[in-house]
Structure 1
């Protein structure tokens, strides 16, 4: 039971026990002396002595606890956080020897261990970086080649969820809704003709033609379906310049880990690594959920613990009112930027589709989620997603008394925010996403492996910020 309490709280309870025990022993000694006296003695002096002793004893215990908390407990928490950063996130975090100067040889020993560990990791990282660069170059060549072809390529797993799409496919998918990996193809297209084509597949006919119709405009495309054995299907969609103009260069988006489908289970029992997260941020006309409006939205997606490059929402929003100059000075969004932008209803619906079956992530979530829920009637959607707040995650990993601003969190996690992107919706959403990716292994290192366990931990810090999953 006590092991679930924080180190500092356990130490505080230990000193409370010492103070109570000392008072009990003093009270017992005074009572024994009074009861053994040959003549009946007045009790008032003994009671007064006990009260004075209890007061002084409690003050002494409190003073010693404050010193112990400042010079032992806090440095131990800081040291453990630095070691976790090294062990689980690969961050070259220096051990603060000055803060841990009263811990004897513990801090130098920890520093020596982490430096030894880092040297071997750096050797491996150099090799991995070389191979990553080579694979990135090959991916860029493949992307360029596919972009030249008048075909949209979509790879589906056996559950008909999107595992890969190229720039051409992104173009036609975005005509319905923002493209996203792991999304059921039924979110974009009618599957009646696709399922009929699947029934026509056979060893003698491994590829069949069919007509694919989207769910938004009723547009029909000539397409071909090819079976990949038990691994899934390839869909090739013929497109014209009218269907989708020449796409802008963008990465080939894929995650082959999605080829293996997992059994759906309750979100509370789902591993953090198996969840899809959508970190997002809003810029607004002011700091009031009740009175202000959204002027910019940025969002990215995280699958299998990685940011999905190429999947993002970055849009200005016309608030239907002038943007105060004081707000423009912070986020640099002016009335000119939003003059021709879509309204909150259109952008909100796009974000809602983008975040289907996902956990919403925000820094100081009550503000951003509050704005989405405020405008939900205009959007025609409900924001009932589970929510993760990186402020609360920071408190779980680093302790309540640390600075939990986005800048401080990113600084601890070695996440850099370009100055020109700070206080922009996409810049802050991307920083939140990178922070979350580094926080996930730290949470797992603390034994927090499922979403239910995470909510249980974040709810302990409700006095710091409201946990929206409650």
Structure 2
């Protein structure tokens, strides 16, 4: 039972036990002395002595506990957090040997060990970086080539979920909603013709040609379907008659880990690595959920513990009212910026589709989620997504005594946050995403491997923020 308690709380309970045991022994000794005295010996002096001893003993125990907590328990907790950062998130943070100066040789020994391990890791990281750059260059050449071919390419896993799409496919998908990996193809197209094509492939056809239609019925595409063994299918759409404007080259968006569709489980039983997260942020006309409105919305997607490059939502929102100069001074959004922007209904529906089947993540989430839920009738959607708050995740990993602002969290996790992007919706969303990616292995290292485990841990810090999953 006590192993689930924090180290500092267990130390506090230990000193409470010492104080109680001392008081109990003193009471026993005084009672024994009184019982051995002459008959009629008054008990009041013994009782007074016991009360005085108990008061002084409790104060003494409390003072020793405060010294122990400040110079032993807190440094141990901070030292363990530093080591976890190095071990699980690759953050090259120095071990604070000064804060742990009363722990003997423990901090210097931990620092020496982590530096030795870090040098080996850095050599490996340098080799990985060189190989990554080579792969990026090859990917850029492939992207440029595919952009010139008027065929939209989509890879599907056996669950009919999108595993890869190119620039042309992104343009086709975005006519319905923002494109996203792991999205069911049924979110974008009527799948009846696709099912018929798959039946033909199962009977031995090498490739099947058919017509595919948007779910909104606003576009027909000549499509070709080819099986990829038991791994899924490749879907090609002829877009030369549909997309006339040139398409800016953009990276192929893919995650081949999605080819193996994970078993469907309840959200609380899902491993953290199998979840899709959508870190997001809003900029507003003010700081009141009840009185203010959204002027900018930014979001990114995180799959398999990685930020999905190329899947970004970044839009101004017309609040239908003037933006106060004091708010513009903070986030830089002006009335001119939002003059022709979509209203909250349109922007909110687009974001709702972008975040479908995902866990929403925000820093100080009650404010941002409160605004979305306030305007959900305008959006004609319901915001019932699971929610994580990086304030609470930071408290779980680093303890409640540390500062948990977004700037402090980014500094602690070595997350780059350019000054010109701070207090922009997309900039803060990207910072939150980078922090989340580094927090996930730290949380798993603490034994929090499922979403249910994580919710239980964050609820212990409910005094910091309102729980948005209730």
1:464 aligned partner: 464
1:166 aligned partner: 166
Contact 1:271 1:451 survives alignment (8 Å): yes
Counterpart CA distance in 1 for 2:287 and 2:417 is: 22
How far is 1:243 from its partner? 3.5
1:297 aligned partner: 297
Contact 1:165 1:252 survives alignment (8 Å): yes
2:55 aligned partner: 55
Q: For the structure 1 residues 453 and 191, does the alpha-carbon distance in structure 2 shift closer, same or farther, using more than 3 Å as the test?
A: same
Query: How many aligned residue pairs are there?
Result: 470
1:194 aligned partner: 194
User: After the TM superposition, which residues 416-431 of structure 1 pair with which residues of structure 2 at under 5 Å, given as runs?
Assistant: 416-431=416-431
1:178 aligned partner: 178
2:387 aligned partner: 387
2:222 aligned partner: 222
Contact 1:172 1:244 survives alignment (8 Å): no
1:45 aligned partner: 45
Contact 1:223 1:238 survives alignment (8 Å): yes
User: After the TM superposition, which residues 25-424 of structure 1 pair with which residues of structure 2 at under 5 Å, given as runs?
Assistant: 25-201=25-201, 205-240=205-240, 242-243=242-243, 245-424=245-424
Counterpart CA distance in 1 for 2:228 and 2:396 is: 44
* Range with bigger deviation, 209-218 or 130-139: 209-218
- What is the TM-score when the length of structure 1 is the normalising length? 0.99
Counterpart CA distance in 2 for 1:192 and 1:401 is: 56
Unaligned runs of at least 5 residues, structure 2: none
SS of equivalent to 1:163: strand
Counterpart CA distance in 2 for 1:467 and 1:400 is: 16
Counterpart CA distance in 2 for 1:245 and 1:467 is: 47
How far is 1:407 from its partner? 0.2
SS of equivalent to 2:164: strand
* Range with bigger deviation, 180-189 or 203-212: 203-212
Contact 1:94 1:111 survives alignment (8 Å): yes
Unaligned runs of at least 5 residues, structure 1: none
Counterpart CA distance in 1 for 2:449 and 2:381 is: 31
Q: Could you give the per-residue CA deviations for residues 129-176 of structure 1, whole angstroms, max 9, x where no partner exists? A: 111111111111111110000000000111111000000000010000
- What is the TM-score when the length of structure 2 is the normalising length? 0.99
Counterpart CA distance in 1 for 2:190 and 2:241 is: 22
Counterpart CA distance in 2 for 1:96 and 1:228 is: 53
Contact 1:171 1:244 survives alignment (8 Å): no
Counterpart CA distance in 1 for 2:63 and 2:122 is: 45
Q: What is the root-mean-square deviation in Å for CA atoms of aligned residues?
A: 1.0
Q: Could you give the per-residue CA deviations for residues 412-454 of structure 1, whole angstroms, max 9, x where no partner exists? A: 0000111110000000000000000000000000000000000
Q: Could you give the per-residue CA deviations for residues 67-109 of structure 1, whole angstroms, max 9, x where no partner exists? A: 1111111111110100000000011111111111111111100
1:437 aligned partner: 437
SS of equivalent to 2:134: helix
Contact 1:168 1:244 survives alignment (8 Å): no
